[in-house]
Amino acid sequence: MNYTAEDELLISQRWDELVDSCKRAKICRNEEDWDFIRRAFFLAKEAHKGVRRRSGEPYILHPIAVAMIVVNEIGLGVKSVVAALLHDVVEDTDYTVEDIEQTFSPKIAAMVDGLTKMAGVFNTEASMQAANFRKILLTLSDDVRVIIIKLADRLHNMRTLGAMPLDKQIKITSETIYLFVPLAYRLGLYAIKTELEDLCMKYRFPKEYEEISRKINDTEPERQAYIERFIAPIVEVLDRDNIKYEISGRIKSVYSIWQKMQRKQISFEEIYDIFAIRIVFQALPFPSEKTQCWQIYSSITDIYTPNQNRLRDWISIPKENGYEALHSTVMGPDGIWVEVQIRTQRMDDIAERGFAAHWKYKQATISQDEDELDKWLKKIRNALNGPTENAIDFLDNFKLSLYTSEIVVFTPKGKALKLPNGATALDFAYEIHTNIGNHAIGAKINHKIEPITAHINSGDQIEIITAETTHPKAEWLEVVKTSKARQSIKSFLKREQQNNIERGKQMLSHQLERNNVMLNGRVLRKIMPAYGCRNKDELYSKIGAGIISLDNLDKLLKENASKKILKFWKLFIPGSGSDSGIDDENADTATAENGQAEQPEFVIAECCNPIPGDAVVGYRDTEHNRIIVHKSDCDTLTKLAAQFGGNIVKEEIKWSQQKAVSYLASVELHGIDRTGIILDLTKIITADFNINMRTISLQSHDGIFEGTIGLYVKNIEDLNAILDNIRKIKGIESVKRLINN
């Protein structure tokens, strides 16, 4: 189907806008560069001729929009614009990578090939998706621009996500928040990261997004007046010192405000740090940028008292993604804490445009030194080229290396190392060397002996204690935070498991031979359930590790275990469709052996324990013909939707109105301890509301108590009513439902 005259006019207008953007950015040095971009546009237009996006607009507008983002919002050059214009040509049309190479260049062909592979990753099934993602990330070894263009592609798709059906929105937003947002952060593309987060929230939680946006707009006049009051004396000092600067008040993003509301269980009105003041100045050749930033900081703290616990110096030690700035929180007028960010123009460019600005300034200084971003890219390349036992695990580990706040710790000789916030001494050990991590038994933290699992803090000096007899344990995976530590531990455990499998197989085979029985599939199917194993490798591994004893094998072989096997496997199917309290008239059905359709059962997800009134999303477990119901903001659901997007249930899942079922909800409490407070709690819960408690765990330290209570409630209204009454108890400081139990 050909485009209409109106379509052609729109395409022409967007092309003109791209040309204007390229001119303003001065990315074309000669007519050859312009010819390169023009040829890419006309080839893409011809290749996508007559094709429309789901929104109905001509498809060619999408690659033009991606190219615009590449130029205007990231600041890449000619080759990136060409690759952006061509990024869907090989994926969606008859053109091949070889055609691109002949028409343009091997470099452009390689970039388009990388983008084509990346597009394929997010259109495939889950495990294949993760495996392919690992392969295409190898493009980091060649050209990081491929990843950046893909981020631009994802940003435009998110801007136009409204045309997609709900299940696709869940899949795409989950992929975005799970992987693309951390990737944008890691490459220093803060503006893109923030917009992606906001767009994810807009489509997943539209009501909350609109409410926070409205409140931000409603409080704008009052906030602006306060900002003017706050910056007035700062402006006076900066002008006095003849500093060329821009100063502005930056509002937090809708998503970050919502995250804080969720994390602290507070209202919009209770968030005090809803904005920050940013000072961007033109640095002089002398003294150093670092010295000039501290001079401005000193001038501000002459006006406002700083909070020493909220000083963040990312100039002395930049973040791993290259971010540099000085952040301080000071006490402003009316007793309000205000964050002030100080950075040079160079620092600001890198903060907003990330990788592109990073390389621009590096080339300008002709520096060959390896900086933080170089070190990170090197680390990722090593991980990509190293062994990995499982594609999904690799994806999780890669994500782990992308997105986390950082601490700085020191070796005994004073070398500084950066680790994620929440890291342990074990993470530090693996950061030093894999062998040190594998044999670590303890640590000296600031010269005091601590367990190897102890958490470490910024400024700690750490020495690792090792022993040759010590080896990694599976429990270590629960405490480490870095991808390097996780990968090293898993690699060791895999080797250990393989040894156990081989040893266990020999032991089982030998024991069976003593009973004149050959080891085969029929025998394995008989004995695996009896030993609580789902597959033969698990059985062999547990035998080899000594977890399973074969002392009762003789007796087991003589029994007819078929009924026991059947009962055992039923244990692996929790819940019941008739008891779940969930309705979905349109849910897909499986087919029973007699040819009749079996309705899938509904199971409440244990990770988030949704209750009636919560917004929920269904995830199809095809192996057991059941639908697992998660809260729509559940972290586990986001991970599943990012990796297994095709299993998200398309239809809306609704709570049944007829079934009186109780659901587990966990509540966290904090307060001031006093005699009788537990009696008051139990009276409200059991006597006033007639609610059953599953668990209660309270601990008191120096007059302060904290703990959790597990309650069986009918719906979200009952839970909120209980929480409101608990808040009225004398001594209760805070009470909130745990978001992910």
60: amino acid identity, one letter: I
Compute the distance between CA of residue 304 and CA of residue 218 in angstroms, rounded to an integer: 28
Least Cα distance to 13 among 53, 64, 50 occurs for: 64
The CA–CA distances, whole Å, from 139 to 146, 174, 193 equal 7, 23, 21
Structure tokens, 148: 């950046």
The CA–CA distances, whole Å, from 584 to 111, 460, 617, 629, 657 equal 45, 54, 11, 11, 12
Helices and strands in the chain: count of H runs, count of E runs: 30, 22
Compute the distance between CA of residue 516 and CA of residue 73 in angstroms, rounded to an integer: 73
**Are residues 336 and 225 in contact, defined by beta-carbon separation less than 8 angstroms?**
no
Compute the distance between CA of residue 158 and CA of residue 494 in angstroms, rounded to an integer: 39
3-state secondary structure of 667: strand
Residue 670 exposure: Cα atoms within 13 Å on the Cβ side: 7
Contacts of 397 (CB under 8 A, 6+ apart): 383, 388, 483, 486, 487
* Helix (H), strand (E) at residue 303: helix 289-303
Residue count (the chain): 741
Compute the distance between CA of residue 403 and CA of residue 187 in angstroms, rounded to an integer: 10
Least Cα distance to 662 among 718, 731, 738 occurs for: 718
Other C-beta atoms lying within 10 Å of the C-beta of residue 427: 26
* Cα 37 off chain centre by: 35
551 is catalytic: no
Least Cα distance to 84 among 98, 105, 69 occurs for: 69
Compute the distance between CA of residue 435 and CA of residue 656 in angstroms, rounded to an integer: 55
Catalytic pick among 7, 17, 33, 91: 91
Compute the distance between CA of residue 361 and CA of residue 627 in angstroms, rounded to an integer: 52
3-state secondary structure of 245: strand
Compute the distance between CA of residue 22 and CA of residue 104 in angstroms, rounded to an integer: 19
Least Cα distance to 170 among 567, 646, 692, 546 occurs for: 646
Q: Long-range contacts: 557-563, Cβ < 8 Å, 24+? A: 557/512, 557/515, 557/517, 557/526, 557/527, 561/526, 561/527, 561/529, 561/530
530: amino acid identity, one letter: A
Structure tokens, 606: 């244990």
Q: In the 8-state DSSP scheme, what is residue 686?
A: I
Catalytic pick among 7, 92, 208, 289: 92
Least Cα distance to 298 among 278, 318, 326, 270 occurs for: 326
Compute the distance between CA of residue 449 and CA of residue 248 in angstroms, rounded to an integer: 48
Least Cα distance to 480 among 423, 395, 534 occurs for: 423
**Are residues 504 and 544 in contact, defined by beta-carbon separation less than 8 angstroms?**
yes
92 is catalytic: yes
**Are residues 312 and 319 in contact, defined by beta-carbon separation less than 8 angstroms?**
no
Which residues are catalytically annotated?
A: 91-92
